[in-house]
Chain A
Amino acid sequence: MEITTRGLWTLIHGMGFGALYLLAGSGALVLLHLRFSTEAQMNVSHRGDRFFGIYLAVMAALGWLTVLTGTYIVYPWYRAAAPAGTANLAGFPRALLLSNPATRQWHSVGMEWKEHVAWLVPIAITMAAAIAIKYGRGLRFHPQLRSALHVFLVTSLVAAGIAGFFGAMLDKNARVEGGQTIHLIQGGKL
């Protein structure tokens, strides 16, 4: 069982940071609802307030790590130009997708949308984390701030979902592979 360094970084970017962000996002929505619904407000604790701020800050860190690893580590491998006359485009995912009319739009629509829309995520979640940390328990007195948290959080999840979906489909159609091979488990002879 083995994986290439490029494959490993793609995994860290998508299945690691990205998927964790999506998982954490649904949790954040539940937390936001539970902490600030009318009935729940009487039972909130200081520790819970701190936890909510830290939770969103961790999500912000995941959001930044996802876009930074995606943009500056995986994307250059994805968009690397194939030398003229290259017959096997397996190591050049973008060129591979564009070489076939059936897969062309995975790049021209999928990647083009993904690479930009994903950047809305860290902006939205950093704002939400900053507000949660700054206002803490005081958020209960600011329903409009809470509405904004809701809207930005949901939008960040939608954006992350779009990026995640296209990331998975792009990886299915043209994998980012190459670099050193890492042997995870040494296989025996069959």
Chain B
Amino acid sequence: MSLQTARVEEDSTAIPKSTVIPNGSGAAAILSAGIGSFAVALFTIVADKSAYAKNLFVLYKPTGPLSGVTAAAILLWLAVWATLEWRWRKRAVALSRINIIAFVLLGLSLLLTFPVADLF
């Protein structure tokens, strides 16, 4: 048996399919990342439209509302991730639907962070 063949056999049997980790943990990470990204865009818009929220988001004065917008989004992302991980870690979930939701949220966050109002 050549060395190459031996390696292929060893690696292809390294994880029996029956012991594969369920996709729940991955789904939790993906959906929470989509929600966290969308939160950045959403909080940006809120801070832009409301003077009250803008002041509320100023956690560190030299950086202005950006400090609060990003800190709030990061906290929300981590909280959602921890919650979903706790609930889904041992489960297999419908990942295709979760992927679609996460991709839409991610796409929206790319678009919504663009300052359309400042273009004109």
Query: Max chain A CB contacts within 10 Å: which of B73, B96, B118, B119?
Result: B118
Residues from chain B with a CB closer than 8 A to the CB of A34 are: none
Q: Which of B1-23 contact A (CB under 8 A)?
A: 7-8, 11-12, 14-15, 17, 20-21, 23
Q: Which of B60-87 contact A (CB under 8 A)?
A: 60, 62-64, 66-67, 69-70, 73-74, 77
Contacts A76-B63, A151-B106 given; indicate if A127 touches B30 (C-beta within 8 A): yes
Please tell me if the beta carbons of B40 and A120 are within 8 angstroms of each other in the complex: yes
Please measure, in the bound complex, the distance between the C-alpha atom of A44 and the C-alpha atom of B7, giving whole angstroms. Answer: 9
Please tell me if the beta carbons of A145 and B119 are within 8 angstroms of each other in the complex: no
Please measure, in the bound complex, the distance between the C-alpha atom of A75 and the C-alpha atom of B66, giving whole angstroms. Answer: 10
Please tell me if the beta carbons of B11 and A135 are within 8 angstroms of each other in the complex: no
Please measure, in the bound complex, the distance between the C-alpha atom of A108 and the C-alpha atom of B77, giving whole angstroms. Answer: 27
Residues from chain A with a CB closer than 8 A to the CB of B14 are: 46, 137
Residues from chain A with a CB closer than 8 A to the CB of B70 are: 67, 71, 116, 119
Please tell me if the beta carbons of B60 and A72 are within 8 angstroms of each other in the complex: yes
Please tell me if the beta carbons of A42 and B12 are within 8 angstroms of each other in the complex: yes
Please tell me if the beta carbons of A148 and B30 are within 8 angstroms of each other in the complex: yes
Please measure, in the bound complex, the distance between the C-alpha atom of A151 and the C-alpha atom of B95, giving whole angstroms. Answer: 14
Please tell me if the beta carbons of A148 and B99 are within 8 angstroms of each other in the complex: yes
Residue of A nearest to B73 (CB): A119
CB distance from B98 to the nearest CB of A (A): 8
Please measure, in the bound complex, the distance between the C-alpha atom of A79 and the C-alpha atom of B61, giving whole angstroms. Answer: 11
Q: 1/0 contact trace for A90-106 toward B, CB 8 Å?
A: 00000000000000010
Q: Which of A48-89 contact B (CB under 8 A)?
A: 67, 71-72, 75-76, 79-80
Please tell me if the beta carbons of B26 and A142 are within 8 angstroms of each other in the complex: yes
Q: 1/0 contact trace for B79-108 toward A, CB 8 Å?
A: 000000000000000011001001100110
Q: A interface vs B, CB < 8 Å? A: 42-46, 67, 71-72, 75-76, 79-80, 105, 108-109, 112-113, 115-117, 119-120, 123-124, 126-127, 130-131, 134-135, 137-138, 141-142, 144-145, 147-148, 151-152, 155, 158-159
List, sorted by A's number, 29 A–B pairs whose CB atoms are closer than 8 Å. Answer: A44-B11, A45-B7, A71-B66, A75-B62, A79-B63, A79-B64, A109-B118, A112-B118, A116-B44, A116-B69, A120-B40, A120-B106, A120-B113, A123-B73, A127-B30, A135-B26, A137-B11, A137-B14, A138-B21, A141-B17, A142-B23, A144-B23, A145-B23, A145-B26, A148-B102, A151-B103, A151-B106, A152-B30, A155-B106
